[in-house]
Amino acid sequence: MIKEDLLFRDRQLKRLKDEILDLEDFDDTVSLTDFSLDEFRLDLLRYLEANRSELEESAAGVYAVVPPKREVPVAQPGVLFCLRHRIGSGADSASPRPRDSSQLNPLAPYYLVYVLDDGTVRFTFAQPKQVMLLLRDLAAEEPQAFERLCSLFDARTSDGADMSHYDELLKKALASIENTFQRRAATGLLSGRNAVLPTADQTPAADGDDFDLVTWLVILKETL
């Protein structure tokens, strides 16, 4: 295991040496001082208290369908994905995340990504506050499902038999997680002598084998 980690770190260092970093990569930084759950905490606690049994009984991968709102211009048709990263094959998904990963992702082991219908990643996991605000603006205080949108979603996916479009969006989200994680690791490495490269187990991969889909929110525009 140690040998594999050393080989992985060696490949990372060689990649950093050979690649030209984009200037915008240096702006792709989030610290715990920039992101706080404080403004969401009360809403989350209230929702948990009111819906505890439903949440405990819900299966992984549960989703909802909502329309875009005119007062939320950033909301365009697409999907907000919430994924959970598992450390290594067979690792306990409930185990705490290493410090290295939590510094790169303040929500570790969870990753929030917003992907538009055309495959454009609108918000990466490095923008968790924007994703959570969007989720709250679109879904909070909506006690019932949007039946017409659910029917439209079922029609477009053949009642869930054809999920190819959303599978492609999920692949875009996973690729974004891998790329953003590597950029942030590279930026951290160049920011000071105390930076530590994540190990192979801590680094998410785009193949998705070490991710669980916790939930997803489909933003769907009703056609006229």
Q: What confidence tens digit (pLDDT) does each residue in 92-146 have? A: 444 444 445 556 888 889 999 999 999 999 999 999 999 999 999 999 888 899 9
31 vs 48, higher pLDDT:
48
Distance from chain centroid for Cα 152? 25
Distances (CA, A) of 44 to 55, 140, 154, 203: 12, 10, 29, 29
26 vs 75, higher pLDDT:
75
Which whole number is the average pLDDT over 199-212?
Answer: 84
Distance from chain centroid for Cα 148? 27
Residue 101 sits at the vertex; the CA angle it makes with 98 and 102, to the nearest 5 degrees, is 85
Residue among 184, 179, 177 at smallest CA distance from 198: 184
Which whole number is the average pLDDT over 144-165?
Answer: 96
pTM of the model as a whole: 0.77
Adjacent-strand bridge partners of 211? 85
Confidence at residue 195, expressed as pLDDT on a 0 to 100 scale:
63
Give residue for tokens 């991969």.
205
Do the beta carbons of residue 214 and residue 63 sit within 8 Å?
Answer: no
Which whole number is the average pLDDT over 140-158?
Answer: 93
Quote the tokens at residue 34.
Answer: 């920039």
Quote the tokens at residue 88.
Answer: 């290594």
